[in-house]
Structure 1
Amino acid sequence: MTIIPSEQEARTMVSTGTHSDGVPVVAYRIARASGEVLAARQDDLDFYAASTVKLAVLVAAARGLDAGTVRLADTCVATRTFTSQVPGAGEYTIEPDDVDTGLPPDGTPMPFGDVVERMVVVSSNEATNMVAERVGLPAVNQALADAGATRSVFGRKYSDLAAERAGASHRTTAADLCLLMSALVTGRLASPERTAWMCELLGRQTDRQLTAAVPGGVPFGSKSGWVDGIRHDVAFVGEPGPDALVVAVCTRGYDEPAAEETLKSLGALAVALS
């Protein structure tokens, strides 16, 4: 089973981008949700987080539901246009390559619960921005802090290029992603009802990388993320709780096929050895 391409193979698979210098890197942490680390490689290495930090937006939404500050039935209005957090930068739209074509036309009313579902299940950037606006970026970063993911940040809404140029970013490490997912599945971040709701949504994410080899009937959930030269995933396998297996893998510099082979192979090996 190929897990990490050789140096010679890697030279033919490199991918550069805004967040990748083309130098192939793989980092991972495999642990029990209770905190026992089973294996790790460069798990404190900093990466652009891509969509993996949507996991923290999900937690912030769950906490809002617990507190009663939002409800699943609350009305949101579908939109692809947002206001930059940089004063004077004005409005922007989601970048063309990232548009969620399954979102209803702009101006269409949507229940908050449906917006959260699109954020998780198909990783919609528009939906994420709508949720982040409703719960607030401080609540998202508080979720990261409470999970112990102290090197991670949700710095801006997606496609806010003015904020990105000003230094606002999404950052994470494999260790932090593992800590965040572990805190979620053990119920340390939200009520039992909302923890079950989050796990159910994560179990329906359509982009299965680390969980591709999970046997039928075994509970799992995941949240992946990708941009050019970046491909990550974080997953839990097994009944949510302290004994669940949690796997986080971050890659930079690989083209998409090589990165996905690495993620799926590491996921399969972790599940087989757990």
Structure 2
Amino acid sequence: MDDKMTITFLGTGTSQGIPIIGSKHPVCLSDNPKDKRLRVSVLISWQDYNYVIDCGPDFRQQMLSNPIDKLDGILFTHEHADHTAGIDDIRPFFFRQGDIPVYAHPRVLDSLKRRFDYIFADEDRYPGAPAVKVHEVFKDKKIPLGGLDVVPIEASHNRLKVFGYRFGEFVYMTDVKRVEEEEMKKMKGAEVLVINALRIDPHHSHFNLKEALEFAEEVGAERTYFTHISHLLGFHDEVEKNLPKNIHLAYDNLQLKI
């Protein structure tokens, strides 16, 4: 049994993905597979455990490209559609395994219950619908998963509070604009950091490239990978060659070993 943790980037794009429907932007027209980005999500595997952070509208396609035998749970960062709209596609896992564990802040769970009431229903369930086992996440309470104590890390996405997660030496943050000092401490000493870098110009609720670089330097991980990337960041290969040697752009289906 492999004791190493495998990180698979299921998607590295922003809310519309790349290419954007109907766009004539040069990045959207690129033939480079690394410039084609599904909505942001990551698969974390160790021993015989598989956990996904976020379950966006491309989840089915991502699971077909990166097949796994079972899904042990989904951790949600927040309730926006590009991070949650694929939850119905957990059905094949549910049919094989039963209720799928989901982990999220109570506010996020409330949003999911309103939008996907048939998944969260306690009675009169439609027989073809998936079901979940709900776990509330709080910033000061670790989550025991597969022998790990996963640490929630709170950040601000404009005015919305979002969660990142630390799995051992791996920290995953997305849709971040600001992180308080106490939460920053939870990331220190990590081997790998993942953080959003939306574009070159400033944005009201996401780090741009300059802010992401500054954040990466402050955290000081051995390796940093940028995700939640829009076409306005530029061509993958051109941006990548101008980054510091320990900082990289993630791309769909990239795998890391930790």
Q: Does the alignment reach a TM-score above 0.5? A: no
TM-score (normalizing by structure 1): 0.25
- State the TM-score, normalized to the length of structure 2: 0.26
Q: Higher helix share goes to which structure?
A: 1
Which one has the bigger strand percentage?
A: 2
Structure possessing the higher relative contact order (Cα contacts under 8 Å, 6 or more residues apart): 1
